[in-house]
Structure 1
Amino acid sequence: MHKVTWFIDWIWSRIKGYPPPALAGMRLQSPDAQDNALMMQFFTWESRHPTMSWWRHFEEEVPQLAELGVTQIWLPPPNKAMVKTGQGYDAYDLWDLGEFYQKGTVATRWGTKDELVRAVETAKAHGIDVLIDAILNHKMGGDRIESFMAVPVDPKNRLRDLTPPREIEGWTAFDFSGRQGKYSSLKWTQEHFTGLDWDHRKRLKGIYRIVGGSHKGWSRFVDSENGNYDYLLGIDVNILAIDLFTHRFIDAHNQIDHRHLAVREDLLEWGRWVLQTTGATGFRLDAIKHMDRYFLLDFLRHVRKSAGREDLFAVAEYWSGNLKQIKPYIYAFQGLVTFFDVPLHQRFHQASKAGPRFDMRTVFDNTVLKFRPGDAVTFVDNHDTVDLMSRQTLESWVGNSFKLQAYALILLRGEGHPCVFYGDIYPNDECYNERIARGVRRLMEARKRFAYGERVDYFSARNCIGFVRMGDAAHKGCAVLVSNADPVNGSKGRIKMNVGARNGGTLYHSIMNSSEHVDVSPDGWGIFTCPPGHVQVWVRSDAFL
């Protein structure tokens, strides 16, 4: 049935047309900002600071981030996790931001509520907005076992029952005893979930749809992958944690039923409360393909109205490299949410694997950026794409041979809303490369100072493409070349580009470790070069001083 509904929506979109692009109506930076907007993801999966909390670390870095041109920070989930060191995606209590003693700790992995609020205040004082990572899909680490009826389903087709209903046990009771009803009085039980992945009675992993009572089954308004993607995790990717206090296994995942009235009221109010409490200005929405889309629409509308933020920024994680699967979601969300451009990230990943065999002229094909640039949040990598042996699900790391090329393409072209990854510019144990970090910082500086005005593309060569930003009244613009030629045996890229008559008769030089100069003719033409397999950003010599 949900496939039919999606099809009707898609046909209607072809008749009625898409809503206005989302980015145009959203707050990307403080209203008085003059420079380009820029998002940054301020964490990696394993982020820990050796001497201070993560929120304190963020607060100390704020001035430098503002200098680099960052206007938005996506922070990790601030809620209490199911274990002390949990990143927050293992969400236990959304209403506990590091304020109550629960799960063996007051602070979350990232710090206390007071530290978070203080860090957000510091960011706002420097013109940086903060985004809350909202984990609205599931709960983990239940406090008590309950018995109820459930049906095991096929992990590859969740619409196919494997056995008749039977009684199972699950860790589905959430009492939040440490919070004692402050902020929210709702105590969660099995009636608030659609499914789970652990039968504690038989100690069996699987996917179980809860039945009986008021349960309505899986939501029909979710992605159709695996038949019905209401349930996120599965038998092959389930992670079980051990409670260090009771030495028992904890059910890793209880799927929230967003149609339940009490659940809806609790989550809708949390959206308003968390923005008001922290001072944040928007959301990153986790795992939207697994959530009822009508609930998400209600969530966004409610928060906009109740928080008085009609320009609320929201970006959704719909993880698919297939643009065709994302298009119906773009229409369905009616301009209330932007989308991480996973297809573009996948193109970057492919380019880094293929080397010179990849045709640079096709790099934007079948991406959200090319289809609807006003709905695209572009990125190169994030916490899920890092190549860690323990987390291979989404591994698609963009290799160092193409990393700076990818950043140049999202930071300097002027389309979409780019997001820089903490792991690419700060030392860390997962993915840091000093050369890459130095280059990304230079590109961020170029975005802040030079990447303005009309763009003209020069996409004629397979292994070297270029574009010019003409500048505006306050900025003189730049010329950019991106090459994926073989760094050892490849040829230097050479593209004749026009930087505009007002820049005619001037001298350009590169900000990317080059002593070369380009003489621009009186009518604005110059021959710009790039070493094979590198990036060059050319700017007027007098603008760089």
Structure 2
Amino acid sequence: MNVLRSLFSRPAPAPLSYMKLGPEGSTENPLMIQFFTWDSKANGMSWWKHFEEEIPRLREMGFTQVWLPPPNKAAEPEGRGYDAYDLWDLGEFDQKGTVATRWGSREEFLSACRVAKEHDVDILIDAVLNHKLGADRTESFQAIPVDPQNRLKDLDKAKEIEGWTNFNFPGRGNKYSTMHWNQEHFTGVDWDHNTRSKGVFKIVGKGHKGWSKNVDRELGNYDFLLGIDIDHRHPEVQKDFLSWGPWILETTGAVGFRLDAIKHIDRDFTRRFLQNTRRSTDRRMFSVAEYWSGNLDAVLPFSKTFKGETAFFDVPLHMNFHNASKHYSRYDLRTVMSKSLVEAKPGYAHCKKFLLGDELILISIQVEGQSLESWVGDHFKLQAYALILLRSTGYPCVFYGDLYPNHECYNEHIARNLKSLIKARKLFAYGATQDYPLGKNCVGFVRMGDSTHPGCAVILSNREDDYLHTIRMSVGKAHAGSTFQSYLTTDGRVEIDSDGWGEFTCFAGSAQVWVKA
């Protein structure tokens, strides 16, 4: 009995300790890129073709995984895919006024996936499972209007409304999936077509169970987010999604998912979806979930319910970066990692000569809707990237908009130095991390290196003047008598003494990396 109790009480594995992050047998640090912005467009070619052409360069830089935009047919021709109409249509059928999606055709998408696989670059599917949009016709049913700020509070009695809830996919028919959706498969809508009124309407009547209880408690109950909210407790819904998961991975050769808006999805179903897909495809299937909250006390309990089935974006750390960029030198850099997932759940797993925390870090994002936008300002972006790319904890994600020219957020100076930080991660950022918190406006750390990588020293500052910071840091006796040089600039040298210590510098308001000359 004690043995059985021990077996069943074992803690869940840290997700990144068993998930596929890069090529088999590689000792190289893994790295992800979000390969799109909200308004992404490629000149003279589809987005999928642009991605295919960039794959060799991405791999050479050190990227091992690519998070692509949702490949499914959207409700509108220019829809990004988050306005999900048909998950089974990857740009193959004439639906919603187009055959190809905003990103390109099915053939172009699958071609890019094949090229990525040839170059040992893993594809991640952005799975939009919370809601649907763009129904083919309306239906009449009973619904109760609820308070948008408290979905547990009814504003009126049940009444008949007309909602866009019927999806029969006339272009695709029954290919790949025979399921046609109707009001029975949803919990709520945000539009009554009969009265032309917006709101949050909870669908009631025969077979309906109300909002799921296994969701975030924000706004009383955050089951409903937007559009036509899916009821993940319905057997037909579950069957369709549980078939789609393995199908999309097998069709594309992708290794896993980025899960959109999971705080609004019944978590018991999401966990089952991951378990089922992992059993049907690969035990090492990758998964990272977007639970958008900067409150660590809210994220931790939610993440634990997944029992190691998915990693989570470290939104609390992202918000620390956002606040640091907003408050300039008033922000205490010594607290930048405080109340983050990588601080609260280090959960290190030794894997292929590098240490990984069990969470992902995303520092700069483009999201749907103004309410979630929390950009990291340009004056702090390199410091933030240095923290996630060069430390030993976490698994970083680089944003396309910070690396490639675009009209939304591109800064040539940042892009140039970001490339150097990415290269430093590939070549130097290995081994244990030793911190040197000089003061409120300047911190440093050293990666001690390993048997095949020399390590590096890093300094970050958020002062707003012309001050030159100096931090005495140890790079280890193995480097005694050597010289370190600045990696982000063309000048600057540090002599390492007989005990392995050196006086490293950094100009105010910048980041500096030092490597062995």
Alignment TM class, shorter chain as reference? over 0.9
Q: Is the 8 A contact 1:223 1:290 kept in 2?
A: yes
> Offset at 1:490?
4.6
In structure 1, how many angstroms separate the alpha carbons of the residues matched to 2:419 and 2:361? 17
**Residue in 2 aligned with 1:151?**
144
Equivalent of residue 400 in structure 1, options 372, 378, 384: 378
For residues 322-341 of structure 1, the aligned pairs below 5 Å read: 322-341=295-314
| Counterpart contact for 2:22–2:122, Cα < 8 Å | yes
Q: What letter matches 1:383 in structure 2?
A: Q
Give per-residue Cα distances to partners, 1:172-216, cap 9 Å, x unaligned.
000101001000000000000000000000000000000001011
The 2-side partners of 1:34 and 1:63 are apart by: 19
Distance 1:121 1:414 in 2: 31
> Which amino acid in structure 1 is aligned with residue 501 of structure 2?
W
Contact 1:33 1:127 in 2 (8 A): no
Alignment check: 8 A CA contact 2:366 2:373 kept = no
CA distance in 2 between counterparts of 1:124 and 1:523 reads 46
1:370 aligns with 2:353: no
Partner residue of 2:405 out of 408, 412, 427: 427
| Runs of 4+ deviating beyond 4 Å | 15-18
- Root-mean-square deviation (CA, aligned residues, Å) is 1.2
Please name the residue that 1:66 is paired with: 59
Check conservation: 1:21, 1:372, Cα contact below 8 A: no
Residues in 2 aligned to 1:226 and 1:354: alpha-carbon distance in whole angstroms = 29
Partner of 1:255: 229
Map of 1:299 onto structure 2: 273
Structure 1 residue 229, shift from structure 2 partner: 0.5
- The correspondence for 1:520, drawn from 490, 496, 499, is 496
Hey, what's the Cα distance between the residues in 2 that align with 1:497 and 1:125?
A: 42
Is 2:479 the partner of 1:503?
Answer: yes
Residues 327-378 of structure 1: CA deviation (Å, up to 9, x unaligned): 1112100011001011101000111111111111100010001011333111
Distance 2:485 2:121 in 1: 31
- 1:111-168 CA distance string (max 9 Å, x none): 1111111111111111110000000000000001100000000001101111110000
- Residues 18, 485 of structure 1: CA spacing in aligned structure 2 closer, same or farther, 3 A cutoff? farther
Alignment of 1:221-300 (within 5 A): 221-233=214-226, 253-300=227-274
In structure 1, the residue matched to 2:325 is: 352
Quick check: 1:196–1:254 contact (8 Å CA) kept in 2?
yes
Task: Check the 8 A contact 2:365/2:373 in 1, yes or no.
Answer: no
Instruction: Give, in angstroms, the shift of residue 33 of structure 1.
Output: 2.1
Three-state SS of the structure 2 residue aligned to 1:375 is coil
Point out the more displaced range, 468-477 or 317-326.
468-477
Give the match for residue 185 of structure 2: 192
Cα drift, residue 460 of structure 1:
3.2
| One-letter amino acid of the counterpart of residue 458, structure 2 | V
Task: Give the aligned partner of residue 353 of structure 2.
Answer: none
Pairwise mapping of residues 149-188 of structure 1 onto structure 2 (< 5 A)?
A: 149-188=142-181
- Give the equivalent residue in structure 1 for 2:354: none
In 2, distance between residues paired with 1:322 and 1:207?
25
C-alpha distance in structure 2 between counterparts of 1:182 and 1:75, whole Å: 24
Deviation at residue 514 of structure 1 after TM alignment = 3.9
Q: 1:32 deviation in Å?
A: 2.7
- 1:532 aligns with 508
TM-fit CA distance, 1:18 = 5.0
TM-score relative to the length of structure 1: 0.90
Q: Which runs of 5+ in 1 are unaligned?
A: 1-14, 234-252, 386-390
Equivalent in 437, 457, 466 of residue 415 of structure 2: 437
- Number of aligned residue pairs: give it: 500
Distance, in Å, in 2 between the alignment partners of 1:355 and 1:18 is 40
Match of 2:488, SS? coil
- Letter of the aligned partner of 2:263 in structure 1? K
With the length of structure 2 as denominator, give the TM-score of the two structures.
0.95
Determine whether 1:20 maps to 2:13. yes
Give the Cα–Cα distance (whole angstroms) in 2 for the partners of residues 407 and 483 of structure 1. 13
Three-state SS of the structure 2 residue aligned to 1:513 is coil
Corresponding residue of 2:5: none
Identity %: 56
Alignment match of 1:461 (pick from 421, 439, 442): 439
3-state SS of the aligned residue for 1:457? Answer: strand
Distance 1:276 1:453 in 2: 36
The offset of 1:520, in angstroms, is: 0.7
For 1:476, which of 454, 472, 488 is the aligned residue? Answer: 454
The whole-number CA distance in structure 1 between the counterparts of 2:60 and 2:486 is 21
Cα separation, 1, equivalents of 2:11 and 2:210: 31
